[in-house]
Structure 1
Amino acid sequence: MAEDSQETTHFGYRTVARAQKADMVAQVFHSVAAKYDVMNDLMSFGIHRLWKRFTIDCSGVRRGQRVLDLAGGTGDLTAKFSRLVGETGEVVLADINESMLKMGREKLRNLGVVGNVEYVQANAEALPFPDNSFDCITISFGLRNVTDKDKALRSMYRVLKPGGRLLVLEFSKPIIDPLSKAYDAYSFHILPRIGEVVAQDAESYRYLAESIRMHPDQETLKSMMEEAGFEQTSYYNLTAGIVALHRGYKF
């Protein structure tokens, strides 16, 4: 999905200056950070845990490997990867948002996840890591908030090791029409109300619903990954395409 122009982009359904989007997204996640995990469970009826488990299962991560959990938020994937890579491996939880990174660090330390996890505040479009650094990169429900998705995908490709793989877990386009209509009604009427009651922030959850609709569909994202250099790209529709897991390799 092409951006509107070189100077503007979308923030939900609004057109904004490209230079403004990162700050606007940051405000959303500063606002929702404290209630992020609770809202994830409520919004998805807990199914997000199954989507993330499937992502872990598809990652092929093994002991001793180095993993980047990009836009890692409160660290659900990082906690699982930490156990998989063991003492000889490393997981980097990276997020552009300081509030989310702080919540992730506190949550994982409370769970006893220490030793092989590093926390880095990073912009997906310009990752602060050397070339060929990671065996696996995951970005879970984060790519749709990135201003320049093509640039971010190229950045991820650069820091992957040859033979490494990228997994993008993201909301996508439902493949069953009646479900699509029900999903729209839920997203635009019920979700903001839940956000208002639980997080005292209906507007941020209205943006999140809009950002899902503006995100590239399954085939478009697959093509974007291929244009960034990834090979053997594929995707799995989860919950009838409400969410899709894309995977691509660097050779």
Structure 2
Amino acid sequence: MSDNANVEKVVPYAGSKLSKKEQIAAMFNDIAFRYDFLNHFMSLGIDVIWRKKALRMLRSLQPKKMLDVATGTGDFAIMAQRMLEPESITGIDISEGMLAIGRKKIARLGLEHKITLQVGDSETISFPEQAFDAITVAFGVRNFENLEKGLSEMRRVLKPGGKLVILEFSNPTVFPIKQLYNLYFRYITPLLGKWIAKSQAAYSYLPDSVKAFPQGQVMCNILTNTGFQSVTCKTLTFGICSIYCATR
């Protein structure tokens, strides 16, 4: 069985007749009102450091047009605007609930002329070929229904020499971090999700989706096989998170 087949099998609502994509959209619509808070709360704020490290990998490129895939509430796009100052950033996501919150944040910050959020699917990106200098995805690729298709689409809309930066959870392998991480993710995370976001299913799906997702060299090989070049993987915080960087 391919790694992508394993990823496809992990869904938020076991027994649902909806596709993984439809379940993901419904799940994020349900938890949108608490998503940002839980992200920072459950990671103890370390996710902000991870995001900054990922974006620094684009500094030398000085991208003018950026695409943020699975943008959610736009946190990564807002940080990219502040750190890299591109001419424009477009964020796409399948959850209108998340985007609605993101648009309010962007308006509050007066960034509407720089950042645009719109409903969009990673597997059928509605932009012409070679439209962007850089593409970012923060904690979103493991939710793709078809990983290879999503990666191929991102490569298609990336300019030659352009960069893709993916930030994603990974499974630490070092004792005792691995054991503590598994305990926290498996038991505490779903309880926090149930208590704060009123959705235990969404935060039970999180550890399952991370466990099933291809990581490290396996993910690098998938990126290479999709046509990307100069693929690298950098692990952060004892392997809890990884940054994948690739060039078209």
**CA shift for structure 1 position 84:** 4.9
Q: Where does residue 222 of structure 1 map in the other structure?
A: 220
**CA shift for structure 1 position 3:** 3.7
Residue 99 of structure 2 is aligned with which of 93, 97, 101?
A: 101
**Inter-partner Cα distance in structure 2 for 1:248 and 1:194:** 34
Structure 2 spans left out of the alignment, 5+ residues: none
Structure 1, 222-231 or 56-65: larger mean CA deviation:
56-65
Q: Where does residue 157 of structure 1 map in the other structure?
A: 155
Amino-acid identity (%): 30
Q: Where does residue 79 of structure 1 map in the other structure?
A: 78
Cα gap change, 1:179/1:83 in structure 2, threshold over 3 Å: closer, same or farther? closer
Structure 1, 158-167 or 52-61: larger mean CA deviation:
52-61
Q: Where does residue 145 of structure 1 map in the other structure?
A: 143
**CA shift for structure 1 position 100:** 1.0
Q: Counterpart of 2:3 in structure 1: which amino acid?
A: A
1:108-127 equivalences under 5 Å are 108-127=106-125
| Greater than 3 Å deviation, 4+ residue runs | 12-19, 61-64, 83-86
Q: Counterpart of 1:67 in structure 2: which amino acid?
A: M
Q: Where does residue 23 of structure 1 map in the other structure?
A: 22
Is it true that 1:212 corresponds to 2:210 in the alignment?
A: yes
Q: Where does residue 136 of structure 1 map in the other structure?
A: 134
So what's the TM-score if we normalise by structure 1?
A: 0.91
Cα gap change, 1:63/1:83 in structure 2, threshold over 3 Å: closer, same or farther? farther
**Inter-partner Cα distance in structure 2 for 1:95 and 1:13:** 17
1:39-78 equivalences under 5 Å are 39-60=38-59, 65-78=64-77
Structure 1 spans left out of the alignment, 5+ residues: none
**Inter-partner Cα distance in structure 2 for 1:16 and 1:139:** 28
**Inter-partner Cα distance in structure 2 for 1:57 and 1:133:** 21
**CA shift for structure 1 position 17:** 8.9
Cα gap change, 1:151/1:64 in structure 2, threshold over 3 Å: closer, same or farther? closer
Q: Counterpart of 2:43 in structure 1: which amino acid?
A: S
When the two chains are superposed, the root-mean-square deviation of aligned CA atoms in Å is 2.2
Q: Where does residue 179 of structure 1 map in the other structure?
A: 177
